[in-house]
Amino acid sequence: MSENNLVISIDAMGGDHSPMVVIEGLSLAQKRNPDIRFLVYGDETKINQEMDKFPALREVCQIFHTEEFVHNEDKPSHVIRNRATSMYQAVEAVKKGEAQAVVSAGNTGALMAISKMVLKTIHKIHRPAIISMMPRQNGRYVMLDLGANTECNGINLAEFAIMGNIFAKHALGLESPRVALMNIGAEEMKGKEEIHNAAHIIKNSNLNLNFIGYIEPHEIPKDKADVVVADGFSGNIALKSVEGTTHLILRIIKQSVKESFLAKLGIPFMLGAMRKLKKTMDPRLYNGAMFVGLNGLSVKSHGGTDAFGFSIAIENAARLIRKDFVGTIRRELENIDLDELSQEACYEVY
Amino acid sequence: MSENNLVISIDAMGGDHSPMVVIEGLSLAQKRNPDIRFLVYGDETKINQEMDKFPALREVCQIFHTEEFVHNEDKPSHVIRNRATSMYQAVEAVKKGEAQAVVSAGNTGALMAISKMVLKTIHKIHRPAIISMMPRQNGRYVMLDLGANTECNGINLAEFAIMGNIFAKHALGLESPRVALMNIGAEEMKGKEEIHNAAHIIKNSNLNLNFIGYIEPHEIPKDKADVVVADGFSGNIALKSVEGTTHLILRIIKQSVKESFLAKLGIPFMLGAMRKLKKTMDPRLYNGAMFVGLNGLSVKSHGGTDAFGFSIAIENAARLIRKDFVGTIRRELENIDLDELSQEACYEVY
């Protein structure tokens, strides 16, 4: 067993092709990050079978057998009552301090529910959120909430702004990320009341945010903001619209090339350009959505990803552990009283 | 003056390059639709100057001089008080029965406000909505509301479903359009209460809709639904996310090709395939968002479109006039009492 002190717990049974994809993903991540150690939860026989293919990986893994697993159709209210699942055990390892982050490709609602119940929300944060990196011109931006909270008030959104700001500093390496609220217009009174309230709270606070106001979704990919804040419903709509459109366009390109003899002849010339497109838009490169606002890092890998995508989720978790992401949020929140600020905001508005 | 009885009134002063783009757009539309007559409102001198380039167009146009215009920064509350603008006059022509539709490339909020005040909402419809066609695999779908109503209740959404259904029949030529509510999950209890209420109302009504349930945004381009119903905030977020992603991907492709000598050599082979992509995604082909739910057709062209795009907005209006879109909505609503249905729905839910 290695003495690495960067430890990540793994739910080996989540996702479409587990534990195969998960174990291969760990192996890829381990090659690029030899300092990570893994606590692997799930069906020992199946895990061992896969791990036989990667002897170097076995060196940095400790396997914990569980009889039970969370299934895709399991309800969150149901899974939080069963501590015997691989997902629950993996999350609990973070709670116990045995691991600094958990990664699972299982059921999102279940992972969110277990993570919230086991890790608990950070003091002063009202609602945890789901955050992820997304592609844009010349780089990446981060967006939250991507689906944890269907309805949000101004304070929730302001808290997302604080957490998104720290996330962008740590994950994108930015000094002073540009923070924006997603809205359907740039004018002050466009959109919903909670967005206006959030803007007011952020502007009138000492949050030390580089707040640039509202951003409309078509402006987001143009390198105008680094952190895009939205309620979980709108954020999820935006995320899935980007996903659907990307898929549609790539499909049309593929089909058109397939149908044209001339285009097929052109493929060798275009490989480099298409590789660049893939390198920007490949969803695997953005894999690993995080639940932020909890006392511990919980990372959701896409259920349908491959080993490479899973390894990216691992690396995203490792990057934030190295920067002490959760600790930074806790420290920055110590001096902030958003509730007080929001009462002031409401007072001024009405 | 021609004796055509399909008449469209035009606000010649809206949009980024008016009246130039507008007049050239009319000329393009007129060549393809010789049965349309135009009532053109705006600065007579400027309009005449542009129209000198298109003698055939002049034959089917009647010009009405106005001294005033709606500007991009004008507030809706302000523009509805000034009846002297080209936009107001053009909308009023529909009200007076002189035209069957109005098309403007001006300020969206202003056109919506004037259209609502002058044309009035159809009896039994609570809220008009903005609808447009959008690209998807193997064709098009329609989506509403794209931004008229930030907050909606279940009845509003059910009314959008009724209007979207008729729109899809008329504009896409479908017998039984598949109608879906946009949501962040396919499961019954996912998302917002108003969406659940709308689903309940639609399912338990005699609306005669081919209702297929919820649809998530990434599934929309996959040819699964023909009518996508959303509140104006979410619909606008989805629309602009599609727009931003399309722009991002096309930009990456262009840039990659520009930077690669090899890719440049491949361009001739790829022209056909790229043309097909453009033919599907070109926003000009989807130009002309309509305000539905009013006693008359009001069509908003994109402010930055070119003459071809403007001509498409004209044709979209003409298609709906020929099918008596507004009359069909009125007739179908006669036998429906959504308010009664919604009370029943609430009663059953709680």
Quick one: pLDDT at residue B34?
A: 93
Q: What is the pLDDT of residues B177-223, one digit of tens each?
A: 999 999 998 777 788 999 999 999 999 887 889 999 999 999 999 99
Interface test with B, best of A192, A245, A260 (most B CBs within 10 A): A245
pLDDT top residue among B153 and A269:
B153
Contact residues, A window 180-209, toward B, CB-based 8 Å cutoff: 182, 184, 191-192
Pairing of strands A210-215, A178-182: parallel
Distance from CA of B31 to the nearest CA of A (A): 31
Query: The tokens of A79 are what?
Result: 């899974």
Q: What is the pLDDT of residues B158-185, one digit of tens each?
A: 999 999 999 999 999 999 999 999 999 8
pLDDT top residue among A115 and B1:
A115
- Among residues of chain B, what percentage have pLDDT more than 70? 96
Q: Is the pLDDT of residue B342 over 70?
A: no
Give the model's confidence band at A204: pLDDT under 50 very low, under 70 low, under 90 confident, else very high: confident
Q: Is the pLDDT of residue A346 over 70?
A: no
Q: Mean pLDDT, to the nearest integer, of B305-325?
A: 95
Q: What is the pLDDT of residues B257-292, one digit of tens each?
A: 888 777 777 777 777 777 888 888 888 888 999 999
Residues 6+ apart with CB under 8 A from A275: none
Dihedral angle sign, alpha carbons of residues A178, A184, A187, A191: negative
Give the model's confidence band at A341: pLDDT under 50 very low, under 70 low, under 90 confident, else very high: low
- What is the distance between the alpha carbons of residues B112 and B121, in angstroms, rounded to a whole number? 11
- Contact across the interface for B191 and A147, Cβ inside 8 Å: no
Min mean pLDDT across A192-206, A330-344, B49-63 is at A330-344
Quick one: pLDDT at residue B7?
A: 97
Quick one: pLDDT at residue B55?
A: 94
Give the model's confidence band at A3: pLDDT under 50 very low, under 70 low, under 90 confident, else very high: low
- Among residues of chain A, what percentage have pLDDT more than 70? 96
pLDDT top residue among A1 and A343:
A343
- Contact across the interface for B253 and A281, Cβ inside 8 Å: no
Q: Which of A137, A151, A263 sits opposite B248 (nearest CB)?
A: A137
Name every chain B residue with its beta carbon within 8 A of the beta carbon of A137.
248, 251-252
Q: What is the pLDDT of residues B111-144, one digit of tens each?
A: 999 999 999 999 889 999 999 999 998 889 999 9
Query: The tokens of B302 are what?
Result: 């994109």
The ipTM is: 0.91
- What is the distance between the alpha carbons of residues A178 and A225, in angstroms, rounded to a whole number? 5
Residues 6+ apart with CB under 8 A from A178: A210, A212, A224, A225, A226, A227
Name every chain A residue with its beta carbon within 8 A of the beta carbon of B219.
244
Quick one: pLDDT at residue B344?
A: 58
SS (H, E, C) B17-28: CCCHHHHHHHHH
Quick one: pLDDT at residue B3?
A: 53
Q: Is the pLDDT of residue A278 over 90?
A: no
Give the model's confidence band at A2: pLDDT under 50 very low, under 70 low, under 90 confident, else very high: very low
- Contact across the interface for B272 and A263, Cβ inside 8 Å: yes
Q: What is the mean pLDDT of chain B?
A: 90
- What is the distance between the alpha carbons of residues B175 and B177, in angstroms, rounded to a whole number? 6
Q: Which of A244, A252, A269 sits opposite B263 (nearest CB)?
A: A269
Say whether A218 sits in a helix, a strand or coil.
helix
Contact residues, A window 239-268, toward B, CB-based 8 Å cutoff: 240-253, 256-257, 260, 262-263, 265-268
- What is the distance between the alpha carbons of residues A232 and A214, in angstroms, rounded to a whole number? 17
- Contact across the interface for A234 and B234, Cβ inside 8 Å: yes
Q: Mean pLDDT, to the nearest integer, of A139-157?
A: 94
Contact residues, B window 148-167, toward A, CB-based 8 Å cutoff: 150-151
Residues 6+ apart with CB under 8 A from A334: none
Name every chain B residue with its beta carbon within 8 A of the beta carbon of A238.
237-238, 241
- Contact across the interface for B281 and A252, Cβ inside 8 Å: yes
Give me the phi and psi of A181, to 5 degrees please. -95, 130
Q: Is the pLDDT of residue A347 over 70?
A: no
Q: Is the pLDDT of residue B345 over 60?
A: no
Give the model's confidence band at A344: pLDDT under 50 very low, under 70 low, under 90 confident, else very high: low
Q: Mean pLDDT, to the nearest integer, of B241-267?
A: 85
Min mean pLDDT across B51-55, B57-61, B261-265, B329-333 is at B261-265
DSSP lists the bridge partners of residue A62 as A39
Q: Mean pLDDT, to the nearest integer, of B11-36?
A: 95
Give the model's confidence band at B2: pLDDT under 50 very low, under 70 low, under 90 confident, else very high: very low
The amino acid at A214: Y
pTM as predicted: 0.92
Q: Is the pLDDT of residue A335 over 90?
A: no
Nearest one of A92, A2, A20 to A310, comparing CA atoms? A20
- Contact across the interface for B191 and A219, Cβ inside 8 Å: no
Q: DSSP letter at A221?
A: G
Output the CA angle B245-B315-B297, nearest 5 degrees.
95
- What is the distance between the alpha carbons of residues B81 and B21, in angstroms, rounded to a whole number? 27
Q: Is the pLDDT of residue A349 over 50?
A: no
Nearest one of B122, B201, B135 to B166, comparing CA atoms? B122
